[in-house]
Amino acid sequence: MRVFVTGVNGQLGHDVMNELARRGIEAVGSGIEPEYVGIMDGSPVCTMPYVGLDLTNEEEARRILTEEKIDCLIHCAAWTAVDDAEDPEKRDFVFRINGEVPGSLAKVMKDLKGKMLYLSTDYVFSGEGTKPWEEEERDFHPINVYGASKLAGEEAIRKVLPEHFIVRIAWVFGLNGKNFIKTMLQVGKKHPSVRVVSDQVGSPTYTLDLARLLVDMVETEKYGTYHATNEGEYISWYDFTKAIYEEAGLSTEVIPVTTEEYGLSRARRPFNSRLSKEKLKREGFQGLPHWKDALKRYLQALEAE
């Protein structure tokens, strides 16, 4: 297997490259920057081959994937700025990257007789109710532009390439990039108290743990749509913040507020981000460790940086 990974300057792509390197699987990483600009922490990703590629340049993408003789694509790149995506001037571009590019990459992989893994999100669902969303649920109703664009990406792939894995994840944190934990640590060190929403519920996903599962997956032909987050009880952002401060030894007070009390963000956020992970078990994949264990290891890794 020869793997091509997009978005390696981001959180997940970085860890996927490291995981492939650790297993000795041949892989090429790509990002929009001409050179790799992720963290230089001595991990193998820095020594793996890298190509600068703007994925909206479809011809160039096809040329590179073909010349590199790629038979497996792990597509981590995306427009991930959820609030900015609401800007009416950016909408078409967001749909181009998140909605159309995955379909054009799927066509290339079909021609190369390869497989493709696409990362999607809990935001494809409406966020209503309290029942965990099942993998085969088709009543989507995304409530923001980012969610709608990622759903368009899913649908474009399903139409073209049966040999696909679509993996919906949520509340992602990794070493290589910005995320909720890093923000809360900064805020907690500066302020005596912080208000955090307690009515949006889901599960965090540590990219290091997820990368292991994704590589396990692409080594099989168990195609389809999956959900993957760290294990453990579903929690609110308030619960998560309390756990972050407890683990980091910060005494910052955490005040629970409703989304309404917190005030509107540009993009609406789903209340119910509970993802059922039954299919992972049914198909015999090893799930991710408990989110508390992931948080502990993540804070230790941040500290060691």
Ligand X SMILES: NC(=O)c1ccc[n+]([C@@H]2O[C@H](COP(=O)([O-])OP(=O)(O)OC[C@H]3O[C@@H](n4cnc5c(N)ncnc54)[C@H](OP(=O)(O)O)[C@@H]3O)[C@@H](O)[C@H]2O)c1
- Determine the Cα–Cα distance for residues 45 and 12; give it in Å rounded to an integer: 12
Instruction: Identify which of residues 13 and 188 has a Cβ nearer to ligand X in the complex.
Output: 13
Place of tokens 């021609």: 111
Does 217 bind ligand X (CB under 6 A)? Our answer is no
Q: Of 2-10, 184-192, 212-220, 252-260, which segment contacts ligand X by CB under 6 A?
A: 2-10
Segment (H or E) for 151: helix 145-160
Residue 190 or 238: which CB sits closer to ligand X? Answer: 238
Give whichever of 119 and 294 is closer to ligand X, judged by the CB atom: 119
Q: Which residues contact 101 (CB under 8 A, 6 or more apart)?
A: 55, 56, 58, 153
- Helix H or strand E segment including 302: helix 291-304
CB of 169 to ligand X, least distance (A): 5
298 part of the interface to ligand X, by CB under 6 A: no
Q: How many CA atoms lie within 13 A of 68 on its CB side?
A: 26
Instruction: State in angstroms the smallest separation of the CB of 54 from ligand X.
Output: 5
- The residue within the footprint of ligand X, chosen from 1, 25, 32, 302 (CB under 6 A), is 32
> What is the DSSP-derived secondary structure letter of residue 73?
E
Q: Is 177 among the residues that bind ligand X (CB under 6 A)?
A: yes
For ligand X (CB under 6 A), the number of binding residues is: 26
Span 55-84, contacts to ligand X by CB under 6 A: 55-56, 76-80
Residue with Cβ nearer ligand X (67 or 251): 67
Q: Among 26, 41, 54, 199, which residue sits at the site for ligand X (rule: CB under 6 A)?
A: 54
Strand order in the sheet with 72-75: 50-52, 26-31, 2-6, 72-75, 115-121, 164-169, 224-227
Q: Which member of 65, 97, 213, 218 binds ligand X (CB under 6 A)?
A: 97
What is d(CA 91, CA 116) in angstroms, rounded to the nearest whole number?
25
- Judged by CB under 6 A, the stretch of 21-29, 166-174, 213-221, 295-303 that binds ligand X is 166-174
CA dihedral (265, 270, 272, 274) positive or negative: negative
Distance CA 31, CA 28 (A): 10
Q: How far is the CB of 170 from ligand X (least distance, A)?
A: 5
Residues that bind ligand X (CB under 6 A): 7, 9-13, 31-33, 54-56, 76-80, 97, 119, 121, 150, 169-172, 177
